């Protein structure tokens, strides 16, 4: 049986070149940098990775490049949500052949589906996937996955091995842990809400997938290590500094993930033009963002 998912996963962005195509060499350089700075795993084709703004072929190509560059150093959690179950399963098969550890599948989006349909969707994928499946709950963007549905899927589908929860609702995470852990101790809980990594770990989470880990991987890793080692006072100081960075990068005055993009560029990577057209200058305060990164890293 494969090892439980654990630690800090990076939902990485994809660099583009001047023509707007995937910049393969810069992507390889970025992946190396993330691994060298200590992230436990990679998570391409997530929301931070703007998966909806790429074509199906481009999503596939992104995973191929990353799997090749990774050379088995860290587990890859590959985003595999496509237009429908059949297309998603094709992605699952391909990512399985590439040696990914698991796929992550976001709940159906655009239409807001009820629990029965969300269950049916994931069950169909889980029954046919050759690779482990992580549920991805992000109710601000996609149909919510409620606690009872997570529990049913955990009970009925051995292939479902984890949930990534980006709801930002601490109690929701506690409820899922309480419902699932007794029946599936191998099931992993990853928080997708960066400011809550430390308290989430203290209440039983196994790790997180954090946009901030694409900008300050060292710090995210350090919060994980300090918290699991019981050094709570130092961990707390760092967690609050990370909150400052998070609120500087991700806030309502500009559109996600524009702030993460700016942060990655401040760390020395060229991400190229955004797939989302811009009108006017960006409202992101680069000096403030830079200061927040420095405060967290020093």
- Under the rule (CB under 8 A), what is the footprint of a copy of itself? 20, 47, 52-56, 83-87, 108-114, 116-117, 119-121, 123-124, 140-142, 168-171, 174-175, 177-178, 193, 195-196, 198-199, 202-204, 232, 236, 239-240, 243-244, 247, 252, 254-256, 275-280
Cβ-based nearer residue to a copy of itself, 32 or 87:
87
Cβ-based nearer residue to a copy of itself, 14 or 35:
14
Minimum separation from the CB atom of position 67 to a copy of itself (A): 22
Cβ-based nearer residue to a copy of itself, 40 or 123:
123
What does the buried/exposed string (b/e) look like for 81-118 if buried means 16 or more CB atoms within 10 Å of the residue's CB? bbeebeebbebbbbbbebebbbbbbbbbeeeebeeeeb
Minimum separation from the CB atom of position 99 to a copy of itself (A): 26
Minimum separation from the CB atom of position 252 to a copy of itself (A): 8
Instruction: Please give the structure tokens belonging to residue 80.
Output: 């595999």
Helices (H), the chain: 24-36, 56-70, 85-97, 115-128, 147-156, 170-180, 197-202, 217-228, 232-249, 258-266, 286-297
Minimum separation from the CB atom of position 7 to a copy of itself (A): 20
Do 109 and 137 meet the contact criterion of CB atoms below 8 Å apart? no
Cβ-based nearer residue to a copy of itself, 36 or 155:
155
Minimum separation from the CB atom of position 282 to a copy of itself (A): 10
Q: Give long-range contacts, CB 8 A cutoff, 24+ apart: 231-239.
A: 232/198, 232/202, 235/198, 236/198, 238/296, 239/195, 239/197, 239/198
Q: How far apart are CA 213 and CA 217, in angstroms?
A: 4
Minimum separation from the CB atom of position 80 to a copy of itself (A): 15
Instruction: Please give the structure tokens belonging to residue 290.
Output: 């830079």
Cβ-based nearer residue to a copy of itself, 72 or 280:
280
Minimum separation from the CB atom of position 167 to a copy of itself (A): 11
Minimum separation from the CB atom of position 281 to a copy of itself (A): 10
Q: How far apart are CA 30 and CA 34, in angstroms?
A: 6
Tell which residue, 178, 180, 174, has the closest CA to residue 201: 174
Cβ-based nearer residue to a copy of itself, 20 or 73:
20
Q: How far apart are CA 55 and CA 53, in angstroms?
A: 7
Q: How far apart are CA 176 and CA 167, in angstroms?
A: 12
Cβ-based nearer residue to a copy of itself, 70 or 107:
107
Residue 58 CB burial class (10 angstroms; 0-12, 13-18, ≥19): middle
Cβ-based nearer residue to a copy of itself, 33 or 141:
141
**Three-state secondary structure call for residue 155:** helix
Q: How far apart are CA 128 and CA 89, in angstroms?
A: 7
């Amino acid at each position: 049986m494969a090892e439980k998912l654990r630690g800090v996963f990076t939902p990485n962005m994809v660099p583009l070149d001047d023509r707007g195509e995937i910049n393969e060499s810069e992507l390889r350089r970025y992946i190396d940098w993330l691994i060298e700075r200590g992230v436990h795993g990679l998570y391409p084709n997530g929301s931070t990775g703007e998966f909806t703004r790429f074509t199906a072929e481009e999503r596939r190509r992104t995973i191929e490049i990353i799997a090749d560059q990774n050379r088995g150093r860290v587990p890859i959690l590959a985003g595999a949500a496509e237009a429908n179950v059949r297309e998603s399963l094709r992605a699952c098969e391909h990512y399985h052949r590439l040696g990914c550890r698991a796929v992550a599948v976001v709940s159906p989006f655009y239409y807001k589906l009820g629990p029965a349909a969300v269950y049916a969707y994931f069950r169909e994928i889980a029954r046919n996937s050759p690779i482990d499946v992580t549920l991805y709950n992000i109710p601000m963007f996609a149909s919510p996955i409620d606690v009872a549905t997570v529990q049913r899927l955990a009970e009925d589908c051995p292939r479902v091995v984890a949930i990534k929860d980006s709801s930002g609702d601490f109690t929701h995470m506690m409820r899922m842990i309480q419902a699932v852990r007794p029946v599936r101790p191998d099931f992993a809980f990853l928080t997708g809400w960066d400011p809550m990594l430390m308290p989430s770990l203290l209440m039983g989470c196994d790790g997180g997938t954090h946009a901030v880990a694409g900008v300050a991987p060292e710090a995210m890793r350090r919060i994980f290590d300090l918290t699991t080692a019981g050094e709570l006072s130092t961990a707390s100081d760092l967690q609050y500094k990370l909150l400052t960075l998070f609120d500087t990068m991700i806030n309502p005055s500009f559109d996600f993930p524009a702030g993460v993009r700016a942060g990655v560029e401040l760390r020395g990577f060229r991400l190229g033009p955004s797939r989302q057209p811009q009108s006017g200058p960006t409202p992101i305060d680069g000096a403030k963002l830079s200061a927040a990164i420095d405060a967290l890293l020093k």
